[in-house]
Chain A
Amino acid sequence: MKNILIFLLLFIGTGLALEQFLKMTRITPPTLKYYDSTYGSLNRPNIDYFKSVEGLYVGKTNYDGRFRENYPKRKDDKRTLRIMLLGDSFVEGIDVFSHNHFAAYIEKILGEKLNRKVEVLNFGRGNCTIQASSFYFTSRLSKEYDADIVLYFTEARDVLDLGIAYEYPSTSYDLNADQQLAPVYLWKNTSEYKIHKKLTDNPILKYYDNSAYFRLLYRAVARTKLSGFPVLTFGKFCGTSADQDYTPLTVSDTVSLLTKKIYDTICKYNNGQIIFVVRDKPVNNPAIIQYLKTSNYKYINLADAFDGYNIKNTKINAYYFKASNAYGGHWNNDGHKTMGTFLSNIILENMSTYKMPDYQP
Chain B
Amino acid sequence: MLFNTPIYLVFLLIVVPVFYFLPKRIDKFFLLGASYIFYGYWDWRFLFLLVGSSLMDYYFGLLIYKAENKQKKKILLLSSLFLNLVILCFFKYFNFFIDSFNLVFGNKLDFLHIHILLPIGISFYTFQSLSYTFDIYREKLLPTKDTLDYCLFVGVFPHMVSGPIVKAKLILPQLATLQKPVKSDFITGFSLLTVGMFQKVLIGDTVAKYANHIFSDPTYYSSSELLFSLFMFAIQIYADFAGYSNIARGSAKIFGIDLIDNFNQPYLSKNITDFWRRWHISLSDWLKEYVYIWWLGGNRKGKVRSYINLMLTMLIGGFWHGANWTFIVWGGLHGGALVVHKFFMERTKHISIRNNFVSQFLSVISSLATFLFVVLAWLFFRAPDFHSAWFYLDRIFVHTVSSNLTADLFIIMLFYFIAILVIDVVELKTKRHDFLAILSPAARFGIAIPVWIAVIFFMYTIGKPMPFIYFQF
A residues lining the B interface (CB < 8 Å): 3-4, 6-11, 13-15, 18, 21-22, 24-27, 52-53, 55-56, 58-60, 69, 96-100, 213, 216-217, 219-220, 223, 233-234, 236, 238-241, 321-324, 332-333
Give A68 Cβ to nearest chain B Cβ, in Å.
Answer: 10
Contacts of A236 in B (CB 8 A): 41
Given contacts A100-B220, A239-B464, A333-B220, contact A56 B403 (CB under 8 A): no
Give B272 Cβ to nearest chain A Cβ, in Å.
Answer: 30
- Give the CA-CA distance A26 to B408 in the complex, in Å: 10
Query: CB within 8 Å of A: which of B443-473?
Result: 443, 445-447, 449-451, 453-454, 457-458, 460-465
Q: Are A9 and B446 in contact (CB under 8 A)?
A: yes
Q: Are A97 and B405 in contact (CB under 8 A)?
A: yes
Give B342 Cβ to nearest chain A Cβ, in Å.
Answer: 39
Closest A residue to B411 by beta carbon equals A24
Which of B7, B10, B411, B443 is within 8 Å of A6, CB to CB? B443
Contacts of B213 in A (CB 8 A): 52, 55-56, 321, 323-324
Instruction: Kindly specify which of B151-159, B305-313, B345-353, B412-420 makes contact with the partner chain.
Output: B412-420
Contacts of B379 in A (CB 8 A): none
Closest A residue to B416 by beta carbon equals A25
Give A12 Cβ to nearest chain B Cβ, in Å.
Answer: 8
List 15 additional A-B contacts (Cβ < 8 Å) besides A14-B447, A238-B7: A7-B445, A25-B415, A27-B206, A52-B213, A58-B408, A58-B409, A99-B403, A220-B457, A238-B2, A238-B5, A240-B463, A240-B464, A241-B464, A322-B217, A323-B212
Query: CB within 8 Å of A: which of B36-90?
Result: 41
Query: CB within 8 Å of A: which of B196-239?
Result: 202, 206-207, 209-210, 212-217, 219-220
Given contacts A25-B415, A238-B5, contact A217 B457 (CB under 8 A): yes
- Give the CA-CA distance A213 to B449 in the complex, in Å: 13
Looking at A21, A219, A241, the one whose CB has the most chain B CB atoms below 10 A away is: A21
Closest B residue to A99 by beta carbon equals B403
Contact sample, A vs B, 15 pairs, CB 8 Å cutoff: A9-B446, A11-B445, A11-B447, A22-B454, A25-B206, A25-B207, A27-B209, A56-B213, A99-B403, A213-B453, A233-B6, A238-B2, A241-B464, A333-B217, A333-B219
Contact with A along B363-392 (1 / 0, CB 8 A): 000000000000000000000000000000
Contacts of A332 in B (CB 8 A): 217
Contacts of B212 in A (CB 8 A): 323-324
Contacts of A18 in B (CB 8 A): 202, 450-451, 454
Contact with A along B150-185 (1 / 0, CB 8 A): 000000000000000000000000000000000000
Give A257 Cβ to nearest chain B Cβ, in Å.
Answer: 39
Please tell me if B404 contacts chain A, counting CB pairs below 8 Å: yes
Give A223 Cβ to nearest chain B Cβ, in Å.
Answer: 5
Q: Are A220 and B461 in contact (CB under 8 A)?
A: yes
Q: Are B219 and A59 in contact (CB under 8 A)?
A: no
Please tell me if B355 contacts chain A, counting CB pairs below 8 Å: no
Contacts of A10 in B (CB 8 A): 442-443, 446-447
Contacts of B462 in A (CB 8 A): 239
Given contacts A3-B440, A14-B447, A233-B6, contact A52 B209 (CB under 8 A): yes
Contacts of A59 in B (CB 8 A): 404-405, 408
Give B250 Cβ to nearest chain A Cβ, in Å.
Answer: 19
- Give the CA-CA distance A99 to B219 in the complex, in Å: 13
Given contacts A3-B440, A59-B405, contact A323 B217 (CB under 8 A): yes
Looking at B418, B441, B450, the one whose CB has the most chain A CB atoms below 10 A away is: B450
Contacts of B6 in A (CB 8 A): 233-234, 238
Contacts of B416 in A (CB 8 A): 25
Given contacts A216-B454, A323-B215, contact A14 B446 (CB under 8 A): yes
Given contacts A238-B2, A241-B464, contact A11 B450 (CB under 8 A): yes
Closest A residue to B419 by beta carbon equals A21
Contacts of B206 in A (CB 8 A): 25, 27
Q: Are B451 and A6 in contact (CB under 8 A)?
A: no
Contacts of B457 in A (CB 8 A): 213, 216-217, 219-220
Q: Are A14 and B451 in contact (CB under 8 A)?
A: yes
Q: Are B412 and A3 in contact (CB under 8 A)?
A: no
- Give the CA-CA distance A9 to B461 in the complex, in Å: 28
Contacts of A52 in B (CB 8 A): 209-210, 213
Q: Are B412 and A25 in contact (CB under 8 A)?
A: yes
Closest B residue to A58 by beta carbon equals B408
Closest B residue to A60 by beta carbon equals B404
Q: Are A26 and B412 in contact (CB under 8 A)?
A: yes
- Give the CA-CA distance A23 to B217 in the complex, in Å: 26
Give B298 Cβ to nearest chain A Cβ, in Å.
Answer: 42
Contacts of A322 in B (CB 8 A): 216-217
Q: What total count of A-B pairs have CB within 8 Å?
A: 136
- Give the CA-CA distance A11 to B215 in the complex, in Å: 37
Closest B residue to A100 by beta carbon equals B220
Given contacts A18-B454, A25-B416, contact A11 B216 (CB under 8 A): no
- Give the CA-CA distance A24 to B445 in the complex, in Å: 25
Give A321 Cβ to nearest chain B Cβ, in Å.
Answer: 8
Q: Are B442 and A6 in contact (CB under 8 A)?
A: yes
- Give the CA-CA distance A240 to B466 in the complex, in Å: 9
Looking at A7, A236, A241, the one whose CB has the most chain B CB atoms below 10 A away is: A7
Give B103 Cβ to nearest chain A Cβ, in Å.
Answer: 22
Give A62 Cβ to nearest chain B Cβ, in Å.
Answer: 11
- Give the CA-CA distance A55 to B217 in the complex, in Å: 10
Looking at B10, B442, B462, the one whose CB has the most chain A CB atoms below 10 A away is: B442
Q: Are A21 and B443 in contact (CB under 8 A)?
A: no
Contacts of B219 in A (CB 8 A): 333
Q: Are B442 and A234 in contact (CB under 8 A)?
A: no
Q: Are A216 and B458 in contact (CB under 8 A)?
A: yes
Q: Are A11 and B408 in contact (CB under 8 A)?
A: no
Closest B residue to A214 by beta carbon equals B457
- Give the CA-CA distance A217 to B457 in the complex, in Å: 7
Contacts of B440 in A (CB 8 A): 3, 6
- Give the CA-CA distance A323 to B466 in the complex, in Å: 11
Q: Are B415 and A21 in contact (CB under 8 A)?
A: yes
Contacts of B463 in A (CB 8 A): 53, 239-241
Give B327 Cβ to nearest chain A Cβ, in Å.
Answer: 20
Give B60 Cβ to nearest chain A Cβ, in Å.
Answer: 35
- Give the CA-CA distance A100 to B213 in the complex, in Å: 13
- Give the CA-CA distance A236 to B411 in the complex, in Å: 37
- Give the CA-CA distance A92 to B356 in the complex, in Å: 59
Q: Are A233 and B460 in contact (CB under 8 A)?
A: yes
- Give the CA-CA distance A97 to B214 in the complex, in Å: 11
- Give the CA-CA distance A306 to B331 in the complex, in Å: 42
- Give the CA-CA distance A76 to B37 in the complex, in Å: 68
Q: Are B443 and A238 in contact (CB under 8 A)?
A: no
Give B196 Cβ to nearest chain A Cβ, in Å.
Answer: 16
Minimum-distance CB pairs A-B, first 8: A10-B446, A56-B213, A216-B457, A322-B216, A3-B442, A238-B5, A323-B212, A323-B216
Closest A residue to B384 by beta carbon equals A322
Contacts of A26 in B (CB 8 A): 408, 412
Closest A residue to B464 by beta carbon equals A240
- Give the CA-CA distance A333 to B215 in the complex, in Å: 13
Which of A4, A11, A56, A233 is within 8 Å of B210, CB to CB? A56
Give A296 Cβ to nearest chain B Cβ, in Å.
Answer: 39
Give B367 Cβ to nearest chain A Cβ, in Å.
Answer: 25
Closest A residue to B217 by beta carbon equals A333
Give A110 Cβ to nearest chain B Cβ, in Å.
Answer: 19
Query: CB within 8 Å of A: which of B1-47?
Result: 2, 5-7, 10, 41
Give A316 Cβ to nearest chain B Cβ, in Å.
Answer: 11
